[in-house]
Amino acid sequence: MAQKLADQGTPGDLISDMLDHTTKVAARHYVAATPAIAKIKARALGKNSTYKELMNLMTGTPIYRNDVKDQRSVIKGVVAARYIGNIGKCGLDADTACEKNPIYSCYTCRKFHPFINGQHADVASALRAEVQVMIDQSLDLAENKVVLQLEKTIEHVCDVSDRCTSLDSSTD
């Protein structure tokens, strides 16, 4: 209960009072574990070289769009009612149906080879718009697993985008 209150922005003092704690120390731990703090820690961890190597294992090697020989392997689809056709190449055989769908799930697939100059920012923007629609229409955000899943996917999209941007800037 205390963590849910902290996640909703309840001050530590009020949490301590509600739980009848004699000190405010325990409540600080709940407040420190909010999703916003977790995102800050994840971004800081993203600067760590070991973390970067692990993230690189989650998707295939970034490539340039011009290097794709078989155009059927280029990933095209709709994200939040927006057509996006320049995010990467699928490493599956062209005739193999993908189990991951819609296309933004590619960002967590090892067969995905993101385009270095791909439309990753557009995917993140479309996903953020989709999350906002869900937030606007939802009555119980604390238990909305779809929103949480999309926010995780946005983090993956941003990680791939950052990786591709750093590769693109290092080749200039």
Beta-bridge partners for 38? none
The pLDDT, as a whole number, for residue 120 is 92
Q: Where is average pLDDT lowest: 11-25, 85-99, 103-117, 125-139? A: 11-25
Torsion of CA 119, 105, 89, 166, to 10 degrees: 50
Residue bearing the bigger pLDDT, 96 or 58: 96
pTM, two decimal places: 0.65
- Is the pLDDT at 47 greater than 80? The verdict is no
Cα–Cα distance measured from residue 161 to residue 141, given in angstroms and rounded to the nearest whole number: 27
- Is the pLDDT at 164 greater than 70? The verdict is yes
The pLDDT, as a whole number, for residue 100 is 74
Where do the domains of the chain lie? 60-170
Q: Find the angle CA(33)-CA(53)-CA(36) to the nearest 5 degrees.
A: 20
Render 65-113 in DSSP notation, one character per residue.
GGG-S-GGGB--EEETTEEE--SEEE-S-TTSPPSS-SGGGGGG-TTEE
Q: Where is average pLDDT lowest: 13-17, 79-83, 104-108, 150-154? A: 13-17
**DSSP annotation of 115:** B
| Tens of pLDDT, residues 28-45 | 665 665 556 666 666 666
The pLDDT, as a whole number, for residue 97 is 81
Cα–Cα distance measured from residue 15 to residue 143, given in angstroms and rounded to the nearest whole number: 20
